[in-house]
Structure 1
Amino acid sequence: MYVILVYDIVVDDEGKKILPKVFKCCKKYLSHIQNSVFEGDMTPSQMMALRMELQKWIRKDKDSLIVFSSRDQKWLQKEFWGKEEDRTSRFL
């Protein structure tokens, strides 16, 4: 399945420690596309593993995480309004 994941972590004292951990978990499974937005293809078992890892860090009373999923990327239209990220720009 194709997934877009978006998270919002409250940056209080505890949130400052949680934010890099959530980022690292998401980066392990998906491609980082913008600030707290990730996308990519995942199997159901990968989705379950990611969910279990993130549940350790997401505080249900303060933080939020939204996952949009589709059968395949071809069913999703993506438009860039403004600067389009060039993934090759990080290579020397």
Structure 2
Amino acid sequence: MYVIITYDVNEKRTSKMCKKLRAYLDWTQNSVFEGEITKGKLQECLASLEEIMGADDSLYVYQIANPKHLKKVTYGSSKNDLDLFL
């Protein structure tokens, strides 16, 4: 499955969240990660992120069943040079 994960956490936990997500997905923008991942790996990733998060932090997971139907347009400078969409 293809996912986009965004987060808003206390700045004390930002680097930990970023480091953990980079192990599973591609970084595309500050606090935004995306890529192909299995259901099992996603559950593993989310469990480890929940351990890092505080009570007032938030995490958003967008699951795309068929990424071929998703169009991505970048305006301005791109943080990641990967061509993720065909």
Query: Shorter-chain-normalised TM-score: which range?
Result: 0.7 to 0.9
Gaps of 5+ in 1: none
Q: Does 1:77 align with 2:71?
A: yes
- Once superposed, what is the RMSD of the aligned Cα atoms? 1.6
Gaps of 5+ in 2: none
Alignment of 1:2-81 (within 5 A): 2-11=2-11, 16=12, 18-60=13-55, 62-81=56-75
Identity, % of aligned pairs? 34
TM-score (norm 2): 0.85
Structure 1 stretches of 4+ with a deviation exceeding 3 A read none
Give the count of matched residue pairs: 82
TM-score (norm 1): 0.80
2:27–2:80 contact (8 Å) kept in structure 1: no
Once residues 39 and 54 of structure 1 are traced to their aligned partners in structure 2, the CA distance between those partners, rounded to angstroms, is: 15
